[in-house]
Structure 1
Amino acid sequence: MPREHYSELLALIAVARERSFTRAAAQLGISQSMLSHTIRGLEARLGVRLLTRTTRSVSVTEAGERLLRVVAPRLKDIESELRHVAELSETAAGTIRITATEHAIDTLLWPKLSEILPAYPKIKVELNSDYALTDIVQGRYDFGVRLGDGLTRDSSAVRIAPDLQFAIVGAPSYFASRAMPDKPQDLANHECINLRLPTRGNLYAWELKKSQSESNVRVEGQLVFNGIYQILNAALSGFGLAYVPEDLARPHLESGRLLPVMKSWWRKFPGYHLYYSNQHEISRAMQILIEALRYRK
């Protein structure tokens, strides 16, 4: 296959996956104009339109879908074999792409990776902050990070953290003129700061548990964010109650900037797991990261 044909197909796969010329160009490390020129050249050579472009989105045509169904898996096999051959060398190398929430990245992944990466200068790591629970195969990620109860059956997983407790908290200023709630039903009378999950397109219901009683509460409030850190900051400013990882709230609880709310209803979840597709060949670089991140009591 001529080199330019290989590059054209890789460009098409990137645009189809990202649904955006801007994001695909950034991922490929080329300019958007060069990427557009490459796609137009492929379409002109084949005599058929492969992508439908609008001012806001990019979609794949029927002809494009047919081409991708055949070509994408074969290119993936080629890349896998090249990676396998590279692993025969003594030095671990390659790019590892990981999708995780900002909380997992900031409190877990980066602290551990920053310790081991200096010993492996040829391993490159891309960390993508994402609450969308992205499909790692479709997104071409090597790893994803999720809580243990969110794993799928078609993946393998390694526990990388202890159980994670979520806490309901509020600032003292918020309670200056409000009574402290003591049961889930009381939350209907409070300003609660919501989290929107991109994949589901709706607001996250607070998952609470007290002994054997469980309650998923749809809360209301003035503010909605798509990140935990923004929710925490809003709570610190007195805008309402927040449902956040307890480890994030702990310093502010200890200093008195936040107050614990309905502590008997705080719920623990199975800790973060590093997961990967069962169809993904595990490279030496991936093995190094797995062992570095593996949770050891």
Structure 2
Amino acid sequence: MDPSLLPSLAWFAHVARHRSFTRAADEMGVSRAALSQSLKTLETQLGVRLLYRTTRHMSLTEAGQQLFDALAPTLAAIETAVHHLGETEGRPSGLVRINTSRLAAKALIEPHLGEFQARYPQVTLELVMADSLANIVADGSDVGIRLGRSLADAVVAVPISPPLSMAVAGSPAYLARHGTPRTPADLADHRCINYRFTGSGALHDWDFKEPGKAGRHFTQAVTGTLITNDDQSMTRAALQGLGLIQIVDIAIHEQLADGRLLRVLDDWTHHHPGFHLYFSSRDHMPAKIRALVDFLVEKRDGGMRL
């Protein structure tokens, strides 16, 4: 069927239901003349007369009645579906696929899963763990969670954690054997456990800021005998005394608190934008996505636990 006929068929159905050009035109917010012309064009396109018209009355021809009988249930079903869609979009429900780093999932989502599901019982969350930055459109995800500094300008990003600091840390046994670095340049004499980004394949250059408000930012290449693409693997290696690591401080909160790891070079570290929830557009945001955004923003200040 020619799709261009659809608007005229809908207009015909309005006229046929009301048996009146005037009432149909008023309901649709168009002029009677425009409606009449549209139906004349439809009759020409179909090659059949649909309406009998006089100056005072209008009725359906046999062909017009057959067409209306076929159109009415279909249009009613479409109207019901559109109405139901509007109701559904107002109530959070359905699947939300979240592409997230393991650390962000552990710190921001997992501690609050019970509360979120109690509040939104009709929303299903699917966590897709990936440490490399994901293109959520190509990945088929609804949203992603990553550190703010890694995000492209093209996405909409909402901060869902406070700013974070990168910590350089090692075990007491390692520091006892190899000494404590006083400046980033001293790392040349240390074994450093490094991280390789899965997506780009690049090694992480450790980043620092010179002490003082006006201190410049710079990166430092490091060397060692272990490279991994997993934060937890880095932490376990550091606990065994295999070298120093640079990692987001919240990832080793417990190990720092109980003394299994010790921070070094604190005067040279600085804060970075924290975790952000990112998505492709704010336009026509489904209620389920809005619910997740609002929930994580609500938990942002003080809701991050490991």
Short-chain TM bin: 0.5 to 0.7
Q: 1:219 aligned to 2:222? A: yes
Which residue identity lines up with residue 261 of structure 1 in the other structure? V
Residue of structure 2 equivalent to 1:173: 173
Shift of 1:248: 2.6
Shift of 1:231: 0.8
Match of 1:266 among 263, 266, 269: 269
- For residues 97 and 83 of structure 1, the distance between their equivalents in structure 2, rounded to whole angstroms, comes to 24
- For residues 171 and 163 of structure 2, the distance between their equivalents in structure 1, rounded to whole angstroms, comes to 25
Shift of 1:121: 2.3
Q: 1:291 aligned to 2:290? A: no
**What SS class does the counterpart of residue 243 from structure 1 fall into?**
strand
Q: Confirm or deny: 8 A CA contact 1:206 1:219 kept in the other structure.
A: yes
Residue of structure 1 equivalent to 2:115: 115
**What SS class does the counterpart of residue 133 from structure 1 fall into?**
coil
Shift of 1:292: 0.3
For residues 120-152 of structure 1, what are the alpha-carbon distances to aligned partners after superposition, in whole Å with 9 as ceiling and x for unaligned? 222111111112101111111111112222222
Which entry has the higher C-alpha Rg, 1 or 2?
A: 2
Structural mapping, 1:99-178, within 5 Å: 99-178=99-178
Equivalences, count:
216
Shift of 1:251: 2.4
Task: Say what the alpha-carbon RMSD is for the aligned residues.
Answer: 2.1
Change (3 A) 1:285 1:167: same
- For residues 286 and 141 of structure 2, the distance between their equivalents in structure 1, rounded to whole angstroms, comes to 13
Which residue identity lines up with residue 243 of structure 2 in the other structure? G
**What SS class does the counterpart of residue 108 from structure 2 fall into?**
helix
Change (3 A) 1:176 1:186: same
For residues 222-245 of structure 1, what are the alpha-carbon distances to aligned partners after superposition, in whole Å with 9 as ceiling and x for unaligned? 111111111111111111101112
Which residue identity lines up with residue 175 of structure 2 in the other structure? F
- For residues 273 and 96 of structure 2, the distance between their equivalents in structure 1, rounded to whole angstroms, comes to 25
Shift of 1:169: 0.3
Change (3 A) 1:276 1:83: farther
Which residue identity lines up with residue 168 of structure 1 in the other structure? V
Shift of 1:176: 2.6
Shift of 1:283: 0.7
For residues 171-199 of structure 1, what are the alpha-carbon distances to aligned partners after superposition, in whole Å with 9 as ceiling and x for unaligned? 01112321211111111111111111011
Q: Confirm or deny: 8 A CA contact 1:168 1:260 kept in the other structure.
A: yes
Residue of structure 2 equivalent to 1:237: 240
Shift of 1:106: 0.1
Which residue identity lines up with residue 281 of structure 2 in the other structure? N
Structure 1: 5+ residue stretches without partners? 1-81
Q: Confirm or deny: 8 A CA contact 2:100 2:127 kept in the other structure.
A: yes
**What SS class does the counterpart of residue 198 from structure 1 fall into?**
coil
Shift of 1:258: 1.1
In percent, how many aligned pairs have the same letter? Answer: 33
**What SS class does the counterpart of residue 133 from structure 2 fall into?**
coil
**What SS class does the counterpart of residue 173 from structure 1 fall into?**
helix
- For residues 148 and 83 of structure 2, the distance between their equivalents in structure 1, rounded to whole angstroms, comes to 30
Q: Confirm or deny: 8 A CA contact 2:208 2:219 kept in the other structure.
A: yes
Residue of structure 1 equivalent to 2:259: 256
Shift of 1:105: 0.5
**What SS class does the counterpart of residue 177 from structure 1 fall into?**
helix
Q: Confirm or deny: 8 A CA contact 1:87 1:93 kept in the other structure.
A: no
Q: Confirm or deny: 8 A CA contact 2:91 2:288 kept in the other structure.
A: no
Match of 1:282 among 285, 288, 292: 285
- For residues 188 and 234 of structure 2, the distance between their equivalents in structure 1, rounded to whole angstroms, comes to 18
Shift of 1:277: 0.1
For residues 75-104 of structure 1, what are the alpha-carbon distances to aligned partners after superposition, in whole Å with 9 as ceiling and x for unaligned? xxxxxxx99954523642111111111111
Change (3 A) 1:101 1:83: farther
